[in-house]
Amino acid sequence: MTLKYVGPKPIISHTGIEFDKNKEDKYVYLGIVAQLITALDHKYVAEKSYTYDKNMPSHDEVVHILQSHCSNIDKLLDKTNHSVEAVIEHDEERANDNKILTDADKEVLVKNIEIMHDYMIQRSVNKSAYYCAVGALADIVQSGRIDHITTPFTEKFAHVLHSLQGALRLEKPPIDTKLEIFKKDGELSCNLQVVNFLSM
């Protein structure tokens, strides 16, 4: 498989397929993570901060950045390695064993699950690639002892910085951070402070 956008999380039932727009495809955040990796993965001479570049990387550039920083990216893109396949099979079995639905409803539910099979696999692939990239970004922050990252305040930047907080908490030892939103020159920005590095 390759990386590509599919859409929000599907809600599948015997009456149809709906989408939870609050559960966006992780693909939409990959450009932000790739941009942060590019901005931060270098030697620092003085101030350790991220300067926003409005030019987002292309799809091919994102893939190249992931290949450079995620050693297992090819494995992540192999759809056979995704546990969602087992989840899909389990959902189909549950649909067939359902004691409440009629046989016709069961058939429709199974068909809807089958229709969304590739969609759900792709979302799983995108999610795995995203968290691999966030983990690579966390490694860069730790190894570079980067004490803060300031970005524009957008939903996508805030989401990525929140994910980065989670990845830094998993480092050994855990890295504490504080995410703040502030206004400067009439513009809202996000600032992720790495508490462990502030006094060093």
Q: Does some domain include residue 41? A: yes
Dump pLDDT digits (tens) for 117-154.
Answer: 999 999 999 999 999 999 999 999 998 888 889 999 99
The answer on pLDDT for 20 being more than 80 is: yes
Res. 159 pLDDT band, cuts 50 70 90? very high
Dump pLDDT digits (tens) for 58-116.
Answer: 999 999 999 999 988 888 777 666 678 888 999 999 999 999 999 999 999 999 999 99
Yes or no: say if 82 and 124 are a contact pair by the CB < 8 Å rule: yes
Bond preceding residue 152 cis, omega within 30 of 0: no
The answer on pLDDT for 26 being more than 90 is: yes
Q: Does some domain include residue 184? A: no
Q: Does some domain include residue 185? A: no
What pLDDT was estimated at residue 78? 78
Yes or no: say if 76 and 132 are a contact pair by the CB < 8 Å rule: yes
Q: Does some domain include residue 99? A: yes
CA distance to 18, 35, 87, 120, 147, per residue, from 95 (Å): 17, 42, 12, 17, 50
Please report, as a single letter, which amino acid is at residue 107: E
d(CA 126, CA 35): 17
Res. 10 pLDDT band, cuts 50 70 90? very high
Q: Does some domain include residue 97? A: yes
Placement of tokens 């990216």 in the chain: 73
Give the domain range for residue 56: 9-144
What pLDDT was estimated at residue 198? 55
Q: If you average pLDDT over every residue of the chain, what do you get? A: 88
Q: Does some domain include residue 193? A: no
What pLDDT was estimated at residue 74? 82
What's the structural domain count of the chain?
1
Q: Does some domain include residue 123? A: yes
Q: Does some domain include residue 59? A: yes
What pLDDT was estimated at residue 50? 52
The answer on pLDDT for 174 being more than 80 is: yes
